[in-house]
Amino acid sequence: MDEIVYRLNAEVSAAIDCTQCGACCKQLIVNITPSDADRMSTHLQLSTPQFKDKFVEEGSSGMMIMNTIPCHFLAGNKCSAYEARFTECREFPDLHKPNFRSRLFATLIHYAMCPIIYNVVEELKEETGFTPKSPDGNLIEASHENIDTPD
């Protein structure tokens, strides 16, 4: 499975221009590692404490996160600090990583946001002959009756 996803990711990523999108930068909370903070501080010609004061807060897990959504460094749909962008920014949408099956839920959370994920998943469904089935083994018909709606 990983090999198929790697190939589809390469094909789809080559056909999609992230600078015309920027959806992840507009919607995701970005975790920041200590080395990310050092690299971005240097890029911005700030000390690391100055950088943290201005742009960083502590997330619930204790990790550093950006203190705004969209990200401070988004200019239009482009990253204004691209060379120094954070590790998570470099890796998203993570389709080059192993164990796609174990990360499927985390990937599908972003299915509607990220055109790369959307297209890779749709191509993957085609290649694997995926058909949605209910627990009794019957095909699930596309119908509004299958969608839970609030009372």
Residues forming contacts to ligand SF4 in the complex (CB under 6 A) are 16, 18, 21-25, 30, 71, 73-74, 79, 81, 85-86, 89, 92-93, 113-116
Listed in sequence order, the DSSP H helices in 48-96 are 48-55, 87-91
**In whole angstroms, how close is the CB of 64 to ligand SF4 at the nearest point?**
13
What contacts 58, CB < 8 A, 6 or more positions away? Answer: 64, 65
Q: For ligand SF4, give the closer residue by CB, 4 or 44.
A: 44
Q: For ligand SF4, give the closer residue by CB, 51 or 86.
A: 86
Separation between Cα atoms, residue 19 and residue 82, nearest integer Å: 11
Torsion of CA 43, 66, 106, 89, to 10 degrees: -10
**In whole angstroms, how close is the CB of 88 to ligand SF4 at the nearest point?**
7
Separation between Cα atoms, residue 51 and residue 42, nearest integer Å: 9
Residue pair 89/82 in contact (Cβ under 8 Å)? The answer is no
Separation between Cα atoms, residue 1 and residue 6, nearest integer Å: 9
**In whole angstroms, how close is the CB of 74 to ligand SF4 at the nearest point?**
4
Q: For ligand SF4, give the closer residue by CB, 2 or 91.
A: 91
**In whole angstroms, how close is the CB of 113 to ligand SF4 at the nearest point?**
6
Q: For ligand SF4, give the closer residue by CB, 4 or 21.
A: 21
**In whole angstroms, how close is the CB of 98 to ligand SF4 at the nearest point?**
19
Q: For ligand SF4, give the closer residue by CB, 4 or 74.
A: 74
